[in-house]
Amino acid sequence: MNPLGEVLVGVVMVVGLVGVVVPVLPGLLLIAVAAVVWGFEVGTGSAWGVVAIMLALLAAGTVGKYLVPGQELAEQDTQPRTWLLATAGAVVGFFVVPVVGLVLGFLLGVWIGKRLETGDSAAASRQTRRLLAGIGRGIVVELSAGFVAVACWVVAVLFVLP
């Protein structure tokens, strides 16, 4: 692949890393697509090996992103009504408040559901904060997977593949 093409692939991967933190961009998906495009362009077995490693890392990061907050909600013995309110809040928030509305709506839905479950605003706030911490840990897992995958690509481009 020519140097300009590799720079463009790298830029898309950096945008993907930003997308992990900014909910509007499909972070790890952008990195995966850039890796596959790079694999097709380079076309060697070594390049496809790097792509396979990257895709495995990105898949693990994606799974971890959902497991960590989901585990937090499961530990709190969250009722299905709260899940429904959280999902509805995320959908409404996505359209009402650009960029961060999805997360804000989700958290508001969780708080309302927890308030209905416990009958106590303070307990609902505590449980929602715990969930927010879980979401933060999920983002760290996802971002770490993205960084390691991009680092594999950088090492391959700079030191391994011609």
Is residue 36 within 8 A of residue 23, CB to CB? The reply is no
pTM given for the model: 0.80
For residue 106, is pLDDT > 80? yes
What does the mean pLDDT of the chain come to? Answer: 91
pLDDT score for 85? 94
Tokens of 27: 């972070």
With bands split at pLDDT 50, 70 and 90, how would you rate the model's confidence at 75? confident
The DSSP output letter for 79 is: -
- The span from the CA of 94 to the CA of 107, in Å, is 12
